[in-house]
Every structure is written in structure tokens, then in C-alpha cells.
Amino acid sequence: MKHTHSICAFATASVVLTTLAVECLHHFVLKDRTFFEFIRGDEREIHTPKKLNKLIRTSSNTVQNVPSEYSEDLIQEQLTRNYSFLTDAGMEKIRSLRVVVVGAGGVGSNAIVSLARSGVSHLRIVDFDQVSLSSLNRHSCATLKDVGRSKVEVLVDFITSIAPWASMEGINELYSIEKSERLLGDFQDGHSPDYVIDCIDNIDTKVDLLEYCYRNNIKVISSMGAACKSDATRINIGDISVSDEDALARSVRRRLKKKGIMRGIVTVFSAEKPDPRKASLLPLPEEEFVKGNVDELSALQNFRVRILPVLGTMPAMFGLAISTHVITEASGYPVEPVEGKNRYKVYDSLLQSIAGQQTRLGIKDQRTPWLGLSDVQYILEEVWRGKSPVSGLSTRLSLSRWDMNRELGPQNCVLLTKEEQRVHEERVLLGGERPEDVYPPQVIERVAHRFAEEAYYAKFR
């Protein structure tokens, strides 16, 4: 028995000593070469940055990194999956983008980090706030050690560690309309921003930024409310005019409408309906109202003082949706977002519109047995991508029979605006004109293409 214990002890000691010997060989002798390279006397070139990145403070509230000299081969290896997906030409566009992100909380920080990981190499981040303990449930990179640090500094520091070649600028400042020209203006190299990403949660400030971008023809994508949301399937990317169910979007739309802006701003929003069983804006304790002047509890004038419950995953998905939109659009990758997804009021309205048309055409039986709410949703979102093939509009929509001589069905039902439906009825369905004589060739081709697509996919439904 003693002999067996001695053998086991000897074997264990041998394994430990052998492991230590191998580690020492790799660390002190091979120096990242293979054993065969060491035998041949080869020296391997180690492609590491010649200097580590440093953050420099260019003013009391602005921090920048010093991009490292970095091997282009290593950059392309790090981004190889993106190069494979978007092609060399697409990645050249991505790496030359200049993007300004205003708001570096849950949505903004996730958008920023994913843009940097995807190759965007010129970023400016604007936010006045610091990392708090309660924000760690949704911030993309902040840790316990970062609590109390400015959000922009945390992000510049973090991105420097994953993309040391990138040029980053963090401005710890509250955006206001008076500062627009400076905060949303040209980068240091003289290039104007290609995109502004709006992740502000204050309505007035948000509207100011969106109006400025709209008036100055700056591409902007705006995040609406991620708080109190939990259904990932209801997240949409679309024009602000179709953001029906989002309370923040509704307030922003009303204010923009007063300024003459009805559409033309891309948004990420949720079509999730409010529900008394779900999270909602938390009430302010009664004792605070008794004290009076509750606005004084706000960190900044006109900013909210009540707490919005946030499921940490939702801001991340909003941010990733934004960065995906920017990357695919800027690179020229073919993506056609469905506008108006999960808008149940719209589905019912569309169903009523086709039933009403049946009556106007003299068809007594208004029932459309092939068409229910789920079919309307499919036609709206999958067949027509939420837009009229005639005008490209995605508001005031209706369904219409396309050809009077064919049976009504998914391959003879087109999405039009209400005015387009009226004209189509008068000239084609009741007037007897051919669609080819009413619409330009590109519209006819677009409609035929979508009907052909539907016929193909119908085989699998």
C-alpha cells in the first residue's frame, strides 16, 4: 500500500514539474515561437501596438484617445467576419464613417460599443451624466469601478481597449440647441458627421436635436422609449410617422408636427401596448409632494424626477437595432425594414378597407374568407414591407384589389394610401383602365415582383 502511495506521489510531482518546465520554456525561451521555429532559430515578429493608447483631456469636459500605431493585418483579422459579410467595399465605407452619439446610457452605450466592434473608427460621444450603481443593469461596458465616472470617459476608455486604432472623442456636456453647431459639427479632420444617433430621454432636448438634424440634412436615427418594455418581438425600425404605440414617440411627433415636420426621421421604437399588469412609471412618494417643489428633485431643470422601470435587456436591443441599421445602410447591404410591424389598429383598419371596397364594387358578400387579421399582417409586413408600391408612403394605408378580372387574394391585393385606393377604384376597378395605362413601368414591375414572390412563398405556407 505504501509502495502504491509512493508511485502516485512521484507521478503527481512529475506532472507538476513537467508543466512548470514547459511554461518556463514558452515564456523565457520560445517567446511566442513554436518549438520547431526555436530549433530552426527563427524569430517571429510580434504585431503589437508600438505604444499603448492614452486618454488626453483637451478641455475640462472633453476626453480623447491617442490612436495606436496598429497593424492593418491585425485590424482586418479582427474584423474578418464583417469583411466576409459586408465585402471589402462595404467595410471601407464603415471604417470611414463619422458618427455622433448623443446620450450614452443603456441604448447609446450599446450602440456605441457595437459600432466600434463593427469597424466604425471615428466616434464622438456626448453625455452629461455619470455612471450610477443602478445603471449597471443596462450599460454596455461600465463596471463597479466606474461608478461615479463620466459615461463618455468610460466608453472612450473601453473602446480604446478593443479598437486601439479608432479615433474617439467624449464630451461630458448636456446637449442643447445652442450647442448644436459645435457638438454636431465637423470632426477634427474636417469631415462632417455621416450619422447622428439620438439616445436622449428628455423630450424637449430630443425634439431640438431632431429638428436641427432635419433642417440641416444630417442623417439621424432616434431611439424612442425602451423603459417599461419587455417584448422583443415588438421592436420596430421605421419612420417616426408610423411609431403609433410608443408614448415617447407620440409626444415627440406632436412637437415636431408643430414645427412642420411630419416624417423623414428614422426611429427605433416598440409597438408593445401598455398593460396594467406590466411595469409603468413609478409614482413619486407622497411625502415628497408634501414638501412641495418636486421639480427641485431633478438633477437638471426640466428633466424627469420619477423613475422609469427598465428591463436591462431592452435598451441593449434598441441600441443594437440602431447600430445594425447604420452599418447595413452605410455599407449598402440590402435591407428593407418592415414599417408598421405589430400595429393592430392598422390591421383592423386595413381589413375594414378591403371589405368597404367590396361594397363599392357592387359585391354583396363583403366577407373575405381568405383574409383575417393575421393575413392582413402578413400582406402588410411581408408582401408590401409596410409601404405603398406606388408612392412608398407608409401612412393612411388601405388594401385594394389590383385587377378586377382576377379573384381577390394575396396575389391580387395591393397596399395603397387611401387617396391611391380612391384613384385606383375610379380608373382601374370601376373605370376599366388597365393598370399598365395608369401607373409607370417601375410601379407595374414592383407590383408584379411582389406578387411573384408571394406566389413562391405561398407554397410553403
Round to whole Å and give the CA distance between 122 and 96: 7
Residues 168/65, Cβ–Cβ less than 8 Å: yes
Give the C-alpha distances (Å, rounded to integers) separating 412 from 84, 164, 379, 418, 453. Answer: 39, 55, 11, 17, 12
First to last CA, the chain: 72
Residues 6 or more apart from 267 whose CB is under 8 A from it?
221, 222, 223, 224, 237, 238, 239, 240, 243, 249
The cell numbers describing 47, all together, are 504585431
pLDDT in tens, 249-275: 888 988 998 899 988 999 999 887 766
Provide the whole-model pTM: 0.67
Residues 210/257, Cβ–Cβ less than 8 Å: no
The cell numbers describing 304, all together, are 424627469
In the chain, where the domains are located: 3-39, 55-278+310-331, 344-460
Q: Which residues pair with 416 in a beta bridge?
A: 398
pLDDT by 10s per residue, the chain, length 461: 545 555 555 555 554 455 555 455 444 444 444 444 444 454 444 343 333 357 788 778 898 888 888 899 999 999 999 999 999 999 999 999 999 999 999 999 999 999 999 999 999 999 999 999 988 999 999 999 999 999 999 999 999 999 999 999 999 999 999 999 999 999 988 999 999 999 998 889 999 999 999 999 999 999 998 887 888 888 889 888 877 667 788 889 889 988 999 889 999 998 877 666 766 665 545 554 444 554 433 444 444 444 678 788 999 999 999 999 999 999 999 887 776 565 667 788 898 899 899 889 888 765 555 566 778 888 888 889 888 999 998 888 999 999 999 888 889 999 999 999 999 999 999 999 999 999 999 999 999 999 998 888 887 66
Give the 3-state secondary structure percentages of the chain, helix then strand then coil, rounded to 5. 50, 10, 40
CATH of span 55-278+310-331: 3.40.50.720
